[in-house]
Structure 1
């Protein structure tokens, strides 16, 4: 093996940094419902949001995890759905519709001021002003289920359910899990602690 593989000159490393934003809205999905509704605050526990559709320390695998038989119990890294105000507006523009409300597609936290939210990398810590911390798992891939929810609000338009997965790629926000419990309120400041990044090349 070439010694050059271990040379720092071969690595393209971006240093860790912090960026700040605010919580624009908070929402929760109670019971078996996928859509969410606005709440005045959210309490995060190690299981996620108590009573929320995606709460739990574990979850069952689905179409996103083809490496497991469907229904396999696995760690729940999708406890919290995070969206951005500007990215929702961009998706609506691309779909040529007036708007997309975050509750239509199951949002829990809507952020403002964090640029290109959906591109924030895994392992980023979202530290909220009052002490709660979420750990980013990664992007939330757009699916037809969310597309159908949007389409239900524009019944005069055909094909929106299929259009959403195509145009919302890398704009659908993030999924995260609770690293440190706490309560979050709208208007609260949040700091994204972005870790050192690099492109892995073998």
Structure 2
């Protein structure tokens, strides 16, 4: 006979699921060599990501973000799409002491508006685009020195390496999200997005 589960003394606080509304203010793709993107009218996505984009592919090779694998190990590509918010980019620019950071400079594919603290959306959040695409958030996108150097170059900073070092500090928890394609299709600039955040809790074993 199965016994009922005993309720733990300290149950975790459960934050209820919620829905938010957003807009894809800008869409960008890296259609040539390198990760820097350029504005496009729309993004065509399949299960590999954005067709022709620098980060497209069902798999990718591990790097510094995955120290548990030898560098270059083939793994699932959960970083197909880079998503940022204009207000967070402005905050990073202030922290770096420059006038602006454009989404293209750091390889962003989507600029979303309407979601407070976009970078804090939890893993598993679903983004339903009006014309049918669904993206699933994997994690925050950690700011790196490579993107910092790109910012320094585009912003005309006198010290390129200072920019490379400043971006990881100023961009922590503000650099946006990475996501992968759950349902393919086309995303157009100006498209409405329904954001669905699942229940959340802090796991304390």
Deviation at 1:6, TM superposition (A): 3.7
Correspondence 1:159-178 to 2 at 5 A: 159-178=162-181
Deviation at 1:108, TM superposition (A): 0.4
Correspondence 1:183 to 2:186: yes
Correspondence 1:39-78 to 2 at 5 A: 39-78=40-79
The aligned residue for residue 149 of structure 2 is 148
Compared with structure 1, are the counterparts of its residues 18 and 157 closer, same or farther at alpha carbon in structure 2 (3 Å cutoff)? same
Which segments of structure 1 move beyond 2 Å, counting only runs of 4 or more?
A: 3-9, 153-158
CA distance in 2 between counterparts of 1:22 and 1:36 reads 19
For structure 1, which runs of at least 5 residues remain unmatched after alignment? none
Structure 1 vs Structure 2 CA RMSD: 1.6
Compared with structure 1, are the counterparts of its residues 60 and 6 closer, same or farther at alpha carbon in structure 2 (3 Å cutoff)? farther
Deviation at 1:97, TM superposition (A): 0.6
Deviation at 1:43, TM superposition (A): 1.1
The aligned residue for residue 204 of structure 2 is 201
CA distance in 2 between counterparts of 1:152 and 1:62 reads 23
Correspondence 1:119 to 2:120: yes
Instruction: Output the TM-score relative to the length of structure 2.
Output: 0.94
The aligned residue for residue 19 of structure 1 is 20
For structure 2, which runs of at least 5 residues remain unmatched after alignment? none
CA distance in 2 between counterparts of 1:128 and 1:24 reads 12
The aligned residue for residue 139 of structure 1 is 140
Deviation at 1:5, TM superposition (A): 7.7
Judge conservation of contact 1:94–1:167 (CA < 8 Å) in 2.
Answer: yes
CA distance in 2 between counterparts of 1:8 and 1:196 reads 21
CA distance in 2 between counterparts of 1:155 and 1:129 reads 38
CA distance in 2 between counterparts of 1:5 and 1:143 reads 45
CA distance in 1 between counterparts of 2:78 and 2:168 reads 21
Deviation at 1:31, TM superposition (A): 3.5
| 1:198 aligned counterpart, secondary structure | coil
> After the TM superposition, which of the residue ranges 151-160 and 62-71 deviates more from structure 2?
151-160
